[in-house]
Amino acid sequence: MIPVNRHRLWQLLADGALIAIAWWLAFWLRFDKGVPGPYHRLMIDTILVVIAIKLAIFIAFGFYNRWWRYVSTRDMWGAARGVTAACIVADLVVYFAHPVHGFPLPRSIAVLDWLILLAFVAGTRLIARSLIERPGAASLVARGKEVIVVGAGDAAQLVVREMLKTPAGGYTPIGLIDDDPRKKNIRLHGIRVLGTTQDLPHILRDNPPDEVLIAIPSASGEIRQQVVEIAQAANVAVKTLPGLYELISGDLNLAGQIRPVQVEDVLGREPVEVDMGSIAKYLSGETVLVTGAGGSIGAELCRQIARVGPARLVLVEHSEAALFDIERELVGERDFSAVATVLGDCGDRAKMSQVFERYKPGVVFHAAAYKHVALLEANPLEAVRNNTLATRVMADVAVEYGTQRFVLVSTDKAANPKNLLGQSKALCEWIVEAYGHRKDISTRFVAVRFGNVLNSSGSVIPIFRRQIEKGGPVTVTHPDMTRYFMTIPEAVSLVVQAGAIGGRGQVYVLDMGEPVKILDLAVNMIRLSGRDPKTDIAITFVGVRPGEKLHEELWTDGETVGPTSHPKILRAARPPIDADWLDEGLGDLERMVERGETLDVVSRLTAMLRDPRRAGAAVLEDTLH
């Protein structure tokens, strides 16, 4: 018999009241004209004994190891068995105790008591479930792979219910794991919580399942890593539900989204909370323009913005295939039809003027940029033209047509830049600063700086994944190299949130957490593929490429770090750039790019970054407010 913990004591008290009422009703329904005196004394004298016996048997049958909100068909059969056993034992005790009263318990009262109590017990649990969530019938038998489910919350109960209801899915849940001690030994749809993650090693050793399923969408990377290591040590496969952002943007059929654990899952951080009220306030009903709309960041911007209901979403993209894909996804898969597509280069001033004149966007997210370090080192003219000069074009046109907010997507490589990518993006930040501090401009300009995003096109994870699929080797630049990582949805949600905070000429920096060693990333990916990095797939070191740093930085020398209204968004305060000096330098770069003067462009860019002209330290105080 399992003791009843204090969190389900109210269930015990409720059942005690139901037992008393059922006992009383059985006597009153048996006699048409009131309960005769001797039987009335029998009812009164035995009611406490009946309550005690039946509650003891209810406890023995595990009635209080289940959450009423998750009661299932399987639980109802268990309740029927428990009520029947309790009634039989209680009736026998009362019947054989009849010499005390002189009147035996009538069999009709015993039957009535059983029927009434069964109706009460089943009815109260079904009502509790109906009030909390829609009931769903679970199959009595499920077949397929045996699964231990990690988690016993809402997502887990939905997955377990789906597994039991749909045997064709191929899963049979045999137990649950949850770190909440209050849930130990309770049952979800008849499946018992076996213990915590500390108990998982011996559970897998004593009764190994076919798979372990992590059913906690909000789980941190540390928790997922712990479960993965325990399961791998026991030679048990691990799968997971997607994270919160994937669930929000995807299918509501949780069981259909079960997938193998990926390196993004074990590197993931605590879920970021976004103030949807402030985001919706400045985007809902507004015309929003996104440049680079087909890229990794741009496409996710479009998905998240579409969810808050803008009046129109204008997609600017120079890649025809990428523009086609994001438009088809928004219109065909996400049922968002207020989309306008613009195939063109955001550095084309005449084209962008036509677009702004036609659509009058109130908010601009400028995500278009070249970003691959090695390629830009070999193509400095394109780095400046597509990144820096195109940003000035977009800023000029946004001001001309009265855009309310302009949000630049920047990069951590703009902090103390050592390569063409970082240098070109540092100038983009300066453009935003210079425009944002001009008193004659109403547009609110901000830049958002962050590190690498997991699984973006051309990033290290897809490269490692392809190398692992081919059997290796996995190429790592340097054993000590580190990078900051963040998921694409997380980074984009914070970019959108920074737009809501919206200072003037302010640079915001996202809290990227702790940097990750690239070597550790490679080892994790090899292990998650089911192979051993020591014996199955080799890791080779190829050396740092031109322009690469061993360790990225988030802050430029001389910047003052300040908080914002969001704990994951920080402010980089510094004296604003001298607008006239910057405009002169950008003019020089534009002429050099037009003439194809590669060496002069690199030289001028380096000179500007080596000695930036600031408006003076006295202005720093203004940027902090």
Q: Within this chain, do residues 120 and 166 fall inside the same structural domain, yes or no?
A: no
For residue 39, tell me if it sits in a domain: yes
Amino acid at 226: Q
Q: Within this chain, do residues 473 and 556 fall inside the same structural domain, yes or no?
A: yes
Q: What is the pLDDT of residues 372-392, one digit of tens each?
A: 888 999 999 999 999 999 999
Residue 597 pLDDT exceeds 50: yes
Q: What is the pLDDT of residues 343-352, one digit of tens each?
A: 999 999 999 9
Residue 51 pLDDT exceeds 70: yes
Q: Within this chain, do residues 156 and 36 fall inside the same structural domain, yes or no?
A: no
**% of the chain surpassing 70 pLDDT:** 86
Q: Of 93, 109, 132, which closes a domain?
A: 132
Chain centroid to CA 387: how far? 31
Q: What is the pLDDT of residue 127?
A: 78
Residue 617: pLDDT band by 50, 70, 90 thresholds? very low
Residue 150 pLDDT exceeds 60: yes
Q: Within this chain, do residues 573 and 619 fall inside the same structural domain, yes or no?
A: yes
Tell me 570's DSSP state. E
Q: Would you list the DSSP string of 211-276?
A: EEEE--TT--HHHHHHHHHHHHHTT-EEEE---HHHHHHS-S-GGGG-EE--HHHHH--SPPP--H
Query: Which domain range does residue 423 map to?
Result: 362-485+502-623
Nearest-CA neighbor of 214 among 186, 237, 245, 181? 237
Q: Within this chain, do residues 372 and 456 fall inside the same structural domain, yes or no?
A: yes
Q: Would you list the DSSP string of 185-210?
A: T-EETTEEEEE-TTTHHHHHHHS--S
Q: Within this chain, do residues 525 and 407 fall inside the same structural domain, yes or no?
A: yes
Q: Within this chain, do residues 397 and 418 fall inside the same structural domain, yes or no?
A: yes
Q: What is the pLDDT of residue 216?
A: 81
Q: What is the pLDDT of residues 234-290, one digit of tens each?
A: 888 888 876 555 554 444 455 556 777 777 677 755 656 677 777 888 999 999 999
Q: What is the pLDDT of residues 404-463, one digit of tens each?
A: 999 999 998 998 898 999 999 999 999 999 999 888 899 999 999 988 887 776 678 888
Q: What is the pLDDT of residue 144?
A: 64
Q: How many domains does the chain have?
A: 3
For residue 464, tell me if it sits in a domain: yes
Task: Give the H or E element holding residue 116.
Answer: helix 107-132
* Three-state DSSP class for residue 313: strand
How far, in Å, CA of 505 to CA of 27, rounded? 81
Average pLDDT over residues 207-236: 82
Catalytic residue check, 517 = no
For residue 282, tell me if it sits in a domain: no
How far, in Å, CA of 139 to CA of 196, rounded? 27
For residue 354, tell me if it sits in a domain: no
Nearest-CA neighbor of 366 among 422, 428, 433? 428
Q: What is the pLDDT of residue 293?
A: 95
Which is more confident, 261 or 53?
A: 53
CA distances (Å), origin 561, targets 236, 368, 451, 556: 46, 27, 17, 10
Q: Where are the alpha helices (DSSP H) in 31-106?
A: 37-60, 73-96
Task: Give the H or E element holding residue 562.
Answer: strand 560-563
Q: 3-state DSSP: the chain helix, strand, coil percent, rounded to 5?
A: 50, 15, 35
For residue 548, tell me if it sits in a domain: yes
Q: Is 472 exposed, middle or buried (0-12, 13-18, 19+ CB in 10 A)?
A: middle
For residue 550, tell me if it sits in a domain: yes
Instruction: Tell me phi and psi for residue 485, to 5 degrees.
Output: -130, 150
Handedness of CA 526, 531, 532, 533 (dihedral sign): negative
Q: Within this chain, do residues 429 and 544 fall inside the same structural domain, yes or no?
A: yes
Task: Give the H or E element holding residue 580.
Answer: helix 579-595
The pLDDT mean for the chain works out to 83
Cα radius of gyration rounded to whole Å, the chain: 33
CATH number at residue 584: 3.40.50.720
Residue 224: pLDDT band by 50, 70, 90 thresholds? confident
23 contact partners, CB below 8 Å, separation of at least 6: 43, 46, 47, 50, 51, 113
Q: Of 231, 261, 291, which closes a domain?
A: 261
Q: Of 261, 286, 315, which closes a domain?
A: 261
Residue 202 pLDDT exceeds 70: yes
How far, in Å, CA of 446 to CA of 429, rounded? 8
How far, in Å, CA of 289 to CA of 24, rounded? 71
Q: What is the pLDDT of residues 483-517, one digit of tens each?
A: 888 888 888 988 999 898 877 888 999 888 788 88
Q: At what angle do helices 420-436 and 390-400 cross, to 10 degrees?
A: 20
Sheet-wide strand order for 339-343 = 339-343, 312-317, 287-291, 363-366, 405-409, 444-449, 506-510, 569-573, 560-563
- 79-83, 115-119, 134-138, 492-496: least confident range: 134-138
Which is more confident, 226 or 298?
A: 298
Q: Within this chain, do residues 419 and 444 fall inside the same structural domain, yes or no?
A: yes
Q: Within this chain, do residues 462 and 592 fall inside the same structural domain, yes or no?
A: yes
Q: Within this chain, do residues 254 and 221 fall inside the same structural domain, yes or no?
A: yes
- State the catalytic residue, choosing from 54, 413, 425, 568: 413
Q: Within this chain, do residues 55 and 164 fall inside the same structural domain, yes or no?
A: no
Q: With left for phi above 0 and alpha for psi between -120 and 50, is residue 564 left, alpha or beta?
A: beta
- Could you tell me the pTM of the whole model? 0.69
Residue 99 CB: number of other CB atoms within 10 A? 8
Q: Where are the alpha helices (DSSP H) in 480-578?
A: 488-501, 518-528
Residue 573 pLDDT exceeds 90: no
For residue 51, tell me if it sits in a domain: yes
Q: What is the pLDDT of residue 258?
A: 74
Residue 193 pLDDT exceeds 50: yes
Q: What is the pLDDT of residue 272?
A: 65
Q: What is the pLDDT of residues 513-530, one digit of tens each?
A: 788 888 988 888 888 877
For residue 342, tell me if it sits in a domain: no
Residue 6: pLDDT band by 50, 70, 90 thresholds? low
Tell me 385's DSSP state. I
Residue 533: pLDDT band by 50, 70, 90 thresholds? confident
Q: What is the pLDDT of residue 140?
A: 35
